[in-house]
Amino acid sequence: MESKRLQSNKEKKIKRKELLGKKKAIDEVIKAASAEKDHLASFPAFRQYDRNGLTLYLESGSGELLSSLMKQCIQNLLKVNMEGVYGPDWATEERVKRREMIAPEARYIFVRESSSASINEISSRTEGKTNCSHWMGDGNPIVGFVQYRFIVEEEIPVVYVYELQLDLCVQRRGLGKFLMQLIELIARKNHMGAVMLTVQKSNLSAMNFYISKLRYTISTISPSRVDPLIGAEKSYEILCKAFDREAKSKLEESGYLSDE
């Protein structure tokens, strides 16, 4: 009996050591990914977007280095795009999003108009409905951005996309898909197991974009899959695209049958 107890304690210690080692390894992966200053450096082909009538260039950024004008610009773009989606909950949600935007761990890909496209040309394409084209900050006008972080979900290191926002003048021209492809490349290059994001159920165009066009699935950690009754009361779904077997088993599958 005593030998069995000792053996059990030894096995528990070994398992605990393995778990701690795994956690340490994941923390180091997250730390290394977050420390990189320019995630675009590894993908020079993605620094420019020159197709479908758009001439744009991309650059990296971080939440703690946003200028006051940049904050105002992306907040304005976010409000125009999302206020209607959130409805009466927008005031509360906007405060949360403003805090998220300037967090030290927030990483950005900014999309700017090329010098070859004038501000007047940008404005005329959308009849004055652009948000960032008239900003007076450094560089060319901002017409879109992705905000993301490297975090851990269910013991899996992931890239979590907090925002993908595009000005009206650049929507429906393939740019959103281009940016998500870039995010997936960044995730793989930095040894992340998946890309994840949250979408409001009422945002039908976004749900269709991610699920039908980009082949994301509703994650096992989304409220509707954790508990359908609770999920029915929630206004959002958590979507996921996993890259390896462990990530798929923890974040996508779990007995879930997709409609593929």
> Model confidence over 69-121: pLDDT tens digits?
999 999 999 999 999 999 999 999 999 999 999 999 999 999 999 876 544 45
Task: Provide mean pLDDT across the span 28-51.
Answer: 96
Rounded CA-CA distance 94/96 in Å is 5
Average pLDDT over residues 133-156: 87
Structural domain includes residue 218:
no
* Full domain range(s) for residue 17: 1-35
Q: What is the mean pLDDT of residues 223-245?
A: 96
pTM: 0.87
Same domain for 133 and 41, yes or no, is yes
State whether 21 and 47 are in the same domain.
no
The identity of residue 6, as a single letter, is L
Domains identified in the chain, total number: 2
Residue type, 166: L
29 plus 59 within the same structural domain: no
Q: Is 78 exposed, middle or buried (0-12, 13-18, 19+ CB in 10 A)?
A: buried
Same domain, 55 and 136: yes
Is 51 a domain residue?
yes
Q: Check whether residue 41 and residue 95 sit in a common domain.
A: yes
One domain, residues 24 and 41: no
Both 29 and 43 in a single domain? no
Indicate whether 45 belongs to any domain: yes
Q: Are 158 and 239 in contact (CB under 8 A)?
A: no
